[in-house]
Every structure is written in structure tokens, then in C-alpha cells.
Amino acid sequence: MKKEMTCIVCPIGCQMTIEEKADGTYEVTGNTCKRGPKYAINEMTNPTRVIPTTVVIKNAMLPRLPVKTAEPIPKGQIFDAMAAINQVVVEAPVKTGDVVIKDLLGLGIDVVATRTMDKC
């Protein structure tokens, strides 16, 4: 498999091509530093992202509480994660870092609050 991608390790944004060889190794071209191939291989084999979003909160100054996955989750499961997170309703008060969902989608990763919201 061959894939084109833009490197995001630094602002240069090298246009790289990554190709999987028959022996299972990867060949990366277009990079201008050695951090490029590392990023490219990771994007090819196990791309992950932190998902920042919101959940409904009751009895707070605002109706939404910002949350994020405490660790990056597999890119392919972003929309499943959103569906699960959108079911959650929490009650104020909440503190930054409080767990909103334990073990999201069985990934062993929690969803945590990213701000403190007092009861009001």
C-alpha cells in the first residue's frame, strides 16, 4: 500500500510518500529529517488522535462541559467514540480531570473533564 501525507512534526510540512514493502517494512520518501519517517510509519500502522468534545452538564453556568479522551484513541474509532460520549449527562460540580466515561469503548482510555464547573 502506498500513501501520500503531509508531515506535521514541524511547520515545514514535507509532502511524504510512504510505501509498504513486500517484507512488511516501510519506505518513506519526501521527508527532510529523520522525524518524518517515524511520523509516517505511525500514521500508517496505528494513527491515533485525542478527541476533544463536550457533554451535557446540568446545574452549571453553561449547558456544555468540555471533555477529552485522556489518551489518543485509534483514528478509526473516532465516530464510535463521539456516539458514546454524546450519551453522557453529568451534574455540576465537576473538576478538571474528573472522569466522565471510564474505559471508553473498552479501549482502556477514560474521557475526562477539561474544565472546572461549579454548581449554580
Partner 1 sequence: MIYDVVILGGGPAGLAAAVEAKNGGAENVLILERDRELGGILNQCIHNGFGLHTFNEELTGPEYAERYIQKVKDLNIPYMLDTMVLDMHDNGDLKSIHVINEENGYMIIEAKAVILTMGCRERTSGAIGIPGYRPSGVFTAGTAQRFINMEGFMPGKEVVILGSGDIGLIMARRMTLEGAHVQAVCELMPYSNGLVRNIVQCLDDYDIPLKLSHTITFIHGKDRLEGVTVAKVDEKLKVIPGTEEYIPCDTLLLSVGLIPENEITRNAGVVMDNRTNGAIVGELRQTSMPGVFACGNVVHVHDLVDFVSEEAVLAGKGAAKFIKGELDNEITFTTTNGDGIGYVVPQQVAMKNVEDKVTFYMRVRQVFKDKVVNAYIGDQLIATKKEKKLLPAEMVNFKIAKDVLAQYPAGEIRFVVEEAK
Q: How many CB atoms within 10 Å of residue 90?
A: 19
Q: Which stretch binds partner 1 (CB under 8 A): 4-12, 18-26, 99-107?
A: 4-12
Task: Give yes or no for a cis peptide into 93 (omega within 30° of 0).
Answer: yes
**Does 66 sit near partner 1 (CB under 8 A)?**
yes
> How far apart are alpha carbons 36 and 115 in whole angstroms?
34
CA distance 19 to 37: 11
Min separation Cβ 116 and partner 1, Å? 6
Among 31, 40, 68, 101, binds partner 1 (CB under 8 A): 68
CA distance 1 to 44: 10
Q: Using CB under 8 A, which of the segments 19-27, 55-63, 98-106 binds partner 1?
A: 55-63
Q: Is 70 in the site for partner 1 (CB under 8 A)?
A: no
Q: Should residue 75 be labelled a site residue for partner 1 when binding is judged by CB under 8 A?
A: yes
